[in-house]
Amino acid sequence: MKGSTLLCALIVGCAGSNDMGILDAVPVHDVAITVDVPGVCILGGCDPVSAEVHTLTLIRIRNLGPATAFLHACGTQPAFVEQQLVRGAWENVGPAASCAFPSTPIPVAAGDSLRFNAFYASGTRRIGIGIADNPSLSGEEFGASPAFVIR
């Protein structure tokens, strides 16, 4: 539970803003998170979830550093947090992050990457995840993608 508490606390972390006033990406431990909108379907099952949650994206997590990074997990998947920009501040979408599945951190080797599909509703959004430089997740930090707009 220590990692979950830390992840929730780090969600309100700070980031710089660009010329448009929208917060930039927050890379940590040399891991970059990007989101392609619209995204390419990589595993099938890529029909819209609903009329509201309609845009397919491709999320990429890339370790650009020289050492293995470790992602906070829920079951066998990264424990992504979705945020929406509301009145200039990032707010979590949905209920508080929790995981009912036994989880071990997901290692991402130096130079390696992971890809996932996800659907999103309209708005300015970003996704993030807890990232550490060790499998115990001590020193875990919140990494976030650049803002992306769903119309």
Name the residue ranges covered by the structural domains of the chain. 2-150
Please tell me the predicted confidence (pLDDT) of residue 23. Answer: 52
Coil, strand or helix at 6: helix
**Stated pTM of the model:** 0.81
Please tell me the predicted confidence (pLDDT) of residue 94. Answer: 79
Fold for the domain defined by 2-150: Immunoglobulin-like (2.60.40)
As a whole-number percent, the residues of the chain with pLDDT over 90 amount to 68
DSSP the chain: -HHHHHHHHHTT----B-TTS-B--B-BTTEEEEEESS---SSS--S-SSSSS-EEEEEEEEE-SSS-EEE-EETTEE--EEEEEETTEEEE-SSPP---S---PEEE-TT-EEEEEEEE-SEEEEEEEEEESSTT-TT-EEEEPPPEEE-
Task: Answer left, alpha or beta for residue 61, where phi above 0 means left and psi between -120 and 50 means alpha.
Answer: beta
- Mean pLDDT across the chain, nearest whole number? 84
As a whole number, mean pLDDT of residues 80-99 equals 87
- Of residues 116 and 9, the one with the higher pLDDT is 116
- Of residues 63 and 12, the one with the higher pLDDT is 63
